Amino acid sequence: MTAPFDPAAVIAEFIDAVAPYNPQPDAPPVALLGVRTALGDETFAMSDHVIRAMCRALASYRDPEDRGECVGCGGRHLDENLHCMDCGRLHGILGQVIADHARRVAASGDGNAPSGPA
């Protein structure tokens, strides 16, 4: 990616990367994409090949922040420890251990965990 971040340059870079593989390089564009940024305005002629490449790229993209969906509230904001930032639920093995321990403490009725193996 280009630095400093320039959205129009990123689009131009993507088009340049896929254009050599277009089986119909002389076909008319199927869309015009306009990008307006603080750096100015750019317009890109988009071929069918480029649009399809964008669709494939989007379909295979996985955001590094995607840690799944909260089973409690359905939120998509799990931190790196699988703690839901929306409802506070913990997920994964750590979350299960903490939830099991909380249930044992609650079942004991006195605020202390029962003795014995966890």
Q: How many CB atoms lie within 10 A of CB 90?
A: 19
Count how many domains the chain has: 2
- 71 near 89, Cβ under 8 Å? yes
**What does the pLDDT look like over 59-111, one tens digit per residue?**
999 999 998 899 889 999 998 888 899 998 888 787 778 778 888 988 987 65
Q: Is residue 24 part of a domain?
A: yes
Note the pTM of the prediction, 2 decimals. Answer: 0.64
Is 115 found in the same domain as 94? yes
Is 69 found in the same domain as 110? yes
- Domain of residue 96, residue span: 64-118
Say which residue the tokens 């320039």 belong to. Answer: 6
